[in-house]
């Protein structure tokens, strides 16, 4: 179940793809909500918040698992700048994810609202309405979304480089778990 120096475990792969798909869906919903009319915006944000909160523990597990478990060895045939990118882009992705997990709920709560999860669960605000703090966390959340988007693009470019240019098994390592 643990990663090795040569590859990722099934749990790491599962958490990676679940987090990736969730982050893409949340980004698309968040962007769509920004451009939507009020009624549609409310619906899209409600869905964004519900998905984010229902995935909260899994996303936190993704961060915790990576921090606890480390990463397999990076391919060493890369240049120093590419090795730095290979090291820091996943760190930025996880840090950005952590930022979103903190700023999102605080943003809702400081607006004075409970967090409503699919109309089934309501998490009351422990903070109450705080307009100035809400505005700060709204900016933090938007910056976090842009940071995640930029890091995601770098990550995809790295995947494409390994797939098309290097033709190595880097992508396979995130698709097929290591054998014991």
CATH architecture under which domain 10-173 falls: Up-down Bundle (1.20)
Residue 155 has pLDDT above 90, yes or no: yes
- The pLDDT value recorded for residue 32 is 96
Residues ≥6 apart with Cβ < 8 Å to 166:
75
Mean pLDDT of 141-165: 92
pTM: 0.86
Higher pLDDT, residue 125 or 78: 125
How sure is the predictor about 2, in pLDDT bands with cuts at 50, 70 and 90? confident
Cα 165–chain centre separation: 27
Between 26-40, 58-72, 90-104, the lowest mean confidence (pLDDT) is in 58-72
Mean pLDDT of 142-160: 93
- DSSP state string for the chain: ---BTTB--HHHHHHHHHHHHHHHHHHHHHHHHHHS-HHHHHHHHHHHHHHHHHTHHHHHHHHHHHHHH--PPPPTTS-HHHHHHHHHHHHHHHHHHHHHHHHHHHHHHTTT-PEEETTTEEE--SS---HHHHHHHHHHHHHHHHHHHHHHHHHHHHHHIIIIII--SHHHHTTSPPP-
Q: Where are the domains of the chain?
A: 10-173
Give the tens place of pLDDT for each residue, 6-24: 788 898 899 889 989 999 9
What does the mean pLDDT of the chain come to?
A: 90
Do the beta carbons of residue 151 and residue 93 sit within 8 Å?
Answer: yes
CA pair distance 89, 148, nearest whole angstrom? 10
Give the tens place of pLDDT for each residue, 86-128: 889 988 998 898 899 999 999 999 999 999 999 999 999 999 9
């Amino acid at each position: 179940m643990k990663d090795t120096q040569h590859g990722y475990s099934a749990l790491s792969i599962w958490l990676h793809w679940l987090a990736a798909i969730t982050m893409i869906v949340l980004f698309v919903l968040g962007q769509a909500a920004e451009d939507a009319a009020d009624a549609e915006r409310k619906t899209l944000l409600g869905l964004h918040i519900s998905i984010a909160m229902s995935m909260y523990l899994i996303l936190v597990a993704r961060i915790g698992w990576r921090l606890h478990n480390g990463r397999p060895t990076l391919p060493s045939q890369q240049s120093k700048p590419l090795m730095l990118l290979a090291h820091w882009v996943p760190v930025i992705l996880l840090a950005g994810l952590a930022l979103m997990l903190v700023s999102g709920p605080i943003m809702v709560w400081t607006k004075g609202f409970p967090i409503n999860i699919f109309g089934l669960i309501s998490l009351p605000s422990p903070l109450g309405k705080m307009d100035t703090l809400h505005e700060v966390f709204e900016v933090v959340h938007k910056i976090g979304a842009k940071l995640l988007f930029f890091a995601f693009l770098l990550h995809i470019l790295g995947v494409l480089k390994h797939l098309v240019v290097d033709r190595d098994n880097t992508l396979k390592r995130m698709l097929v778990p290591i054998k014991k």
